[in-house]
Amino acid sequence: MSPAEKEDDPTPSSDSGTPVDQPSSATKQGRKLPAFLDHFNARDLKILLRCSVAFWVASLFIFINPTLQTFGQATFFGAIAVLFLPPNGVVLVFLLGGFTEILGMALGWVWGIITQKAALATRPSAETNTRLGQLAQQAQATGQQTTVLIFNGFMLDTRVTVTYFCMLGLFIYLMVRRNLDVCS
């Protein structure tokens, strides 16, 4: 190679003329995750620890019997609420999210009452009273508690089940329709 060609050659070489390996830019800087995946810093790990402790405490309340008897179903809701809305950000956003969860629960509760009224209207009260009498007789005959028989489906009625299914479908339809109207 002539001296003029050596100046034009972009490959670095040593004094002896053999090419020298340059480290690639990836090994020089080290491999890094994209920014949206890189959460291995102290701040994010602290948030993860805080959220994990909150969920652990909330789910621990489910298994402590005196707490479960005192708070009831709120212990389960607390664990679910911590999963839906982890305590990891701005306090105002957390409060607005909590308010939205409570509003959604209230809406579900009201719709559940409406559904229960509609379901009770589909079954005649004379048939319900007859079935309740049979429930009491079978509970005494078998020695089982009435709740066990009810959970095994003793009081199930197809008309009530269909009413619940239709009302749930109507609720989902109305919520989706409302959200589509808001978005468009």
Whether residue 88 has pLDDT greater than 80: no
Half-sphere exposure of 162 (CA within 13 A, CB side): 6
The answer to whether 74 and 61 have CB atoms below 8 angstroms apart is no
> Cα separation of 12 and 23, whole Å?
12
Instruction: Scan for tokens 């709740």, then name that residue.
Output: 147
pLDDT tens digits, residue range 25-81?
555 567 777 777 777 778 888 888 888 898 899 889 889 888 888 888 888 888 888
3-class DSSP assignment, residue 154: coil
> What residues contact 85, with CB distance under 8 A and at least 6 apart?
94, 97, 98, 101
- Which pLDDT belongs to residue 113? 96
pTM of the model: 0.57
pLDDT tens digits, residue range 150-177?
888 888 889 999 999 999 999 999 989 8
> What residues contact 68, with CB distance under 8 A and at least 6 apart?
61, 62, 75
pLDDT tens digits, residue range 118-162?
998 999 989 989 998 998 898 888 887 888 888 888 888 899 999
The answer to whether 62 and 75 have CB atoms below 8 angstroms apart is yes
The encoded tokens of residue 90 equal 């701005």
> Cα separation of 175 and 184, whole Å?
14
The encoded tokens of residue 164 equal 């619940």
Mean pLDDT of 3-10: 55
> What residues contact 77, with CB distance under 8 A and at least 6 apart?
105
- Which pLDDT belongs to residue 166? 96
- Which pLDDT belongs to residue 10? 56
Extents of the domains making up the chain: 39-89, 90-175
Length of the chain equals: 184
Instruction: Scan for tokens 């009530």, then name that residue.
Output: 160
